[in-house]
Structure 1
Amino acid sequence: MEEACPICSRSFPVKFLERHVNSCLDTLEVDTSEQEIQPSSPTATQNGEQKSQDVFAALGLKADSRRPAADKAKKGSATLTSILLAEKRLKRRQEDLEERVRKRHAAQTGPETGGGLHNGQKSTVTEIPATPASPHARDLDPGTKPEQRWKHEFMRLKREADLPLAQRLRPKSLGDFYGQEKLVGENGILRNLVAASQIPSFILWGVPGVGKTSLARIISLTCNHKFMELSGSDSNAKKLKEAFAAAQHEKLLTGQKTILFLDEIHRFNKAVQDLLLPVIENGTVTVIGATTENPSFSLNNALLSRMHTFVMEPLPHEALVKILNKGLLLLNRTRKIVHGLHLIAMNKDSVDYIASLSSGDSRVALNILESVNAYLSGLQFKAFPEKDPEREKFDLLPQIGVVQVTLDKLKPLLSTRNFHQMYDKTGDNHYDTISAFHKSVRGSNADAAVFYLVKMLRGGEDPLFIARRMIVIASEDVGLRDSSCLPFAIATMEAIQFVGMPEGEIILAHCAVKLARAPKSTKSYRALRKAQGLLSDDPEICKLPIPIHLRNAPTKLMKDLGYGDTYKYNPNFKHGMVKQEYFPPEIRDACFVDDTHLGTAMDEEVRPEEYAGADEEANDYQRFKDTRRQELARKLVGRKELAKLQKVSDRLGLLSSPVERLASYDENLSKEVQPEYFDGTDHVSEADEADYDIADCTYDEFMKGI
């Protein structure tokens, strides 16, 4: 759509009309000033005044009244306006002179050639064509000269040169937003909400550098809402209330809605978070929160129930490559136009390497690119290696070359820098990694257990925290199948306290592999949870009275009341076997301890052959233990000793086989299979003198000899 200029009556597009009117006014002021300075006839003066009045009338303005006496008094004296106009004419003459010098220099030098680097530094510099006009330059008036376009581009890039590259590349629309296809891609939920201009209050949860702030600003611009931004790191309840009042005033005055973006919303305490509840409910503002921490841990439940939560994943590799290429283009334009530096060219391997170092964080990727740009911005990389202000002033098109940055040159620059450590000792990574470590040990995957152990240690995790978790694993997951793991884990923690780090890593790895390779049993753990579940489901069970024969009776009164009167003391009975109730009568049939060490469910993804092989392996191992135990016993004790041991066993009523008698009580077997518990402290007094006198040692000492 075009409109006519009220001064020169020429038609221009609406977006260029204001700029053109200002240009016409400047031209008119120059002409009027020249008429005032130079002698002119009264008729010309009247015509100029009439033309000026017509211009102001066309613009809907009223021209200032001018007294003839005052004009005569000022005629011939230098005014501020005339001085400024004179300076403008001198500036234009200077620009014309520079243009002629530039054209003369271009005609003499001919086509550009590649420029080499100084100070003996080797670099690949090749010839490049002229830089095309930028999108910002295309927005200028179509009638603008190329020199003015170049100057406009130069001034814009010079203003932006001091800003961080991540800020300069912040997207302005959903079309420029890379990544997060589930949210803003085709048929993404946020894209559809923006298209419908129905923006609810929601929370963006994701790691740094995935575009949370940029997405909130894009939503505000697209929906034509007023945008207000506060940060949880430097805001308080007072600032929030001021923002609420401003949003309410804006809504009543213009009807425009307000989006309040709260960066680092998890930094607000619980009391300040409660201030958001009423304004979200009555629609005063639309709150968009951004957080890097788990909202379920850091935000009130009442606030979470009023706001949606969208998870923003780390940026994929393809999105990071696009962002890096876009950033490299902008840096090269600044290097050429503003600083007169050779351009930077990166091959695909170099860009992929930077993207892989970033771990899904676009800000880290752009910071790395800025570091490379700073390293390649020394004097030896300038198109004017020697400082020559006069030449730099008039030579607007220097000989610009290209510095090739390959992967071999890039790796030494970034090898000693850890740009992104994906481990937070107090956040989700802290709990997620220790959870993965625990589950890897539980699944008997020693390789994965060592991997997560090293990841925690590289992230600066407290080694005692890991040791404490392994003590829990020794009892919860290994349990009764290998009770030696519990004291082993405790010894690991004590050893770390004695030795310290980094040697303590070896001890942690030792314990982690032992726990992962140990047989597993959750019998005691499941019994604990079953009992807890019973009492949690029916709290009335806790009120059941203790059976009277099980009660403590330390005083005579209690004994007279019958406390513990009918209790049967097990050690007084043969094999300790008695018939006695231990549960309250209401839960007499309760059972918490299962017969099996592990569950009986079968995974559909595991083939039946694998389960059959595991069963056969367990049976073979059990047979091996029995055979090995018998062989060791026969090797140490001859037939004569076996006969004596058999005689002693018969008198004591023990097991019939003297070889079986050499085995201690196994807590994994039922008491029916092993009715007598032999703790290794009883001496066998009935044994006769022999080559190996078992009467002079305990059972533990005897087994040590094996």
Structure 2
Amino acid sequence: MDLFDYMREQNMEKEAPLASRLRPTTLDEVVGQQHIIGKDKLLYRAIKADKLSSIIFYGPPGTGKTTLAKVIAHTTSADFMQINATSAGKKDMEDVIEKAKNNQGMYGKKTILFIDEIHRFNKGQQDYLLPYVEDGTIILIGATTENPYFEVNGALLSRSVIFELRALGKEDIKTLLCRAVSDREKGMGAYNAKMDDDALEFLADVANGDARAALTAIELGILTTERSADGIIHITLEVAQECIQKRVVRYDKSGDNHYDTISAFIKSMRGSDPDAALYYLARMLYAGEDIRFISRRIMICAAEDVGLCGGGCGNGRSERDYSRGGCCNSSRTHRNAGGTHHIGGGSHLCGERAKEQCIVYGSG
């Protein structure tokens, strides 16, 4: 590393986002995830003893996957290297393996390779790592937001221990926010800011277990709010609401959250729980799910589950006919009248209302 690289690295540390600057360097500083790093847990003992095997961290964004990798980097005696699967190519991997071989052969030193977003590697790239994980040339630590059983090579999985990280609790988020406001070395303590209790409660709730979202919001609030007459930056509820205007929803279009939510939605209808069904409908719509996908699932539920054991409804028509027809009609109503995103006309909520009524009927 030359002088210019050193200065660039120092400047990046100073200008890095709050969530990056505030990352812990020891296990005792880590907030949450006590189910895997509690003092009697396997991962805690392995990190303390510096006896790590290959690991894959799996969980939602902002739960501490990269943080745990950084903690390992600060505590291990092994050479720690990091690449990001979104930008790393075959040449980067070959360079890492070459350095790992030199560490092992010349110095008798282990090498830990941390790959962020490991699910972005294709099968060929993952296969390239296999022999080096197998013979101990590298100890692999992978981090992914996707289900590793679907996205990571099965041979790599069999050689790794998988740890699932959970969304942080509200109290954990509050702890991090208070640390961010008061820490003068790595946080925003030098700005002399004060956060109201209702603002703290709001940010911890709306972040929905995502520490990065909460820290980004409080950083934005402190940097953009003018000082009051008393010389203090007051983070009020109004400021907090401006900094994070939409609740963080864990949802995706093709991963586990997508299928878990639609499964819970259908089971709520099947189990005659309209409140739960409407909740999951709102969750999917809020996250931007395609209404046509939801409509198809409702019609399938009507055809397969509703009215199968019911009697007639008069005029020779069964409950099955009515439920299926009602769902089809609600889908046509939504298509023709539009949902909440349509502007103009007095009945722009008509499509959403028709869908809700169909769900309540199907759950009844």
Give the alignment's TM-score, normalised by structure 1.
Answer: 0.45
Aligned ranges 1:148-547 → 2 under 5 Å: 161-330=14-183, 343-376=192-225, 378=226, 381=227, 401-407=231-237, 409-411=238-240, 413-414=242-243, 417-418=245-246, 420-480=248-308, 481=310, 482-484=319-321, 485-502=323-340, 503-517=350-364
Q: Relative to structure 1, is the Cα distance of residues 457 and 306 closer, same or farther in structure 2, using a 3 angstrom cutoff? A: same
In structure 2, distance between residues paired with 1:238 and 1:303: 20
**1:293 Cα offset (Å):** 0.9
Structure 2 residue matching 1:204: 3-state secondary structure: strand
Contact 1:364/1:419 (<8 A) preserved: no
**Any idea what the Cα deviations from partners look like across 1:157-183, whole Å, max 9, x if unmatched?**
998552211121111111111111111
**1:516 Cα offset (Å):** 1.1
Q: Relative to structure 1, is the Cα distance of residues 159 and 452 closer, same or farther in structure 2, using a 3 angstrom cutoff? A: closer
In structure 1, distance between residues paired with 2:300 and 2:130: 41
Contact 1:464/1:496 (<8 A) preserved: no
Structure 2 residue matching 1:309: 3-state secondary structure: strand
Whichever residue aligns with residue 163 of structure 2, its letter is F
Q: Relative to structure 1, is the Cα distance of residues 333 and 216 closer, same or farther in structure 2, using a 3 angstrom cutoff? A: closer
Contact 2:188/2:219 (<8 A) preserved: no
In structure 2, distance between residues paired with 1:268 and 1:258: 20
Q: Relative to structure 1, is the Cα distance of residues 499 and 335 closer, same or farther in structure 2, using a 3 angstrom cutoff? A: closer
Q: Relative to structure 1, is the Cα distance of residues 504 and 201 closer, same or farther in structure 2, using a 3 angstrom cutoff? A: same
**Any idea what the Cα deviations from partners look like across 1:421-455, whole Å, max 9, x if unmatched?**
33222322211111111000010111111111111
Q: Which has the higher contact order (CA 8 A, sep 6+)?
A: 2
In structure 2, distance between residues paired with 1:233 and 1:240: 13
Contact 2:183/2:189 (<8 A) preserved: no
Q: Which runs of 5+ in 1 are unaligned?
A: 1-156, 384-399, 518-706
Q: Relative to structure 1, is the Cα distance of residues 345 and 497 closer, same or farther in structure 2, using a 3 angstrom cutoff? A: closer
**Any idea what the Cα deviations from partners look like across 1:352-410, whole Å, max 9, x if unmatched?**
2221121111111111111111122x5xx399xxxxxxxxxxxxxxxx84344443x43
In structure 2, distance between residues paired with 1:333 and 1:270: 39
Mean Cα deviation higher: 460-469 or 505-514: 505-514
**1:336 Cα offset (Å):** 8.2
In structure 2, distance between residues paired with 1:332 and 1:255: 36
Contact 1:317/1:356 (<8 A) preserved: yes
**1:496 Cα offset (Å):** 3.2
In structure 2, distance between residues paired with 1:382 and 1:437: 48
In structure 2, distance between residues paired with 1:268 and 1:213: 17
Structure 1 residue matching 2:67: 3-state secondary structure: helix
Whichever residue aligns with residue 402 of structure 1, its letter is I
Q: Relative to structure 1, is the Cα distance of residues 323 and 334 closer, same or farther in structure 2, using a 3 angstrom cutoff? A: closer
Q: Relative to structure 1, is the Cα distance of residues 457 and 283 closer, same or farther in structure 2, using a 3 angstrom cutoff? A: same
**Any idea what the Cα deviations from partners look like across 1:287-335, whole Å, max 9, x if unmatched?**
0000011112212222222212100011122222221122112369987
In structure 2, distance between residues paired with 1:212 and 1:158: 24
Contact 1:182/1:189 (<8 A) preserved: no
Contact 1:446/1:513 (<8 A) preserved: yes
**Any idea what the Cα deviations from partners look like across 1:435-477, whole Å, max 9, x if unmatched?**
1110000101111111111111111111110111112111221
Structure 1 residue matching 2:209: 3-state secondary structure: coil
In structure 1, distance between residues paired with 2:13 and 2:290: 44
**1:479 Cα offset (Å):** 5.0
Contact 2:228/2:234 (<8 A) preserved: no
Contact 1:178/1:319 (<8 A) preserved: yes
**1:255 Cα offset (Å):** 0.9
In structure 2, distance between residues paired with 1:266 and 1:205: 10
Name the larger-Rg structure: 1
Q: Which runs of 5+ in 2 are unaligned?
A: 1-9, 311-318, 341-349
Q: Relative to structure 1, is the Cα distance of residues 444 and 291 closer, same or farther in structure 2, using a 3 angstrom cutoff? A: same
**Any idea what the Cα deviations from partners look like across 1:99-158, whole Å, max 9, x if unmatched?**
xxxxxxxxxxxxxxxxxxxxxxxxxxxxxxxxxxxxxxxxxxxxxxxxxxxxxxxxxx99
**Any idea what the Cα deviations from partners look like across 1:67-89, whole Å, max 9, x if unmatched?**
xxxxxxxxxxxxxxxxxxxxxxx
**1:411 Cα offset (Å):** 4.9
In structure 1, distance between residues paired with 2:73 and 2:13: 23
In structure 2, distance between residues paired with 1:355 and 1:374: 19
Structure 2 residue matching 1:224: 3-state secondary structure: coil
Contact 1:280/1:287 (<8 A) preserved: yes
In structure 2, distance between residues paired with 1:298 and 1:495: 39
Structure 2 residue matching 1:208: 3-state secondary structure: coil
Structure 2 residue matching 1:364: 3-state secondary structure: helix
Whichever residue aligns with residue 365 of structure 1, its letter is A
In structure 2, distance between residues paired with 1:329 and 1:278: 47
Whichever residue aligns with residue 165 of structure 2, its letter is M
Aligned ranges 1:649-664 → 2 under 5 Å: none
Contact 1:425/1:459 (<8 A) preserved: no
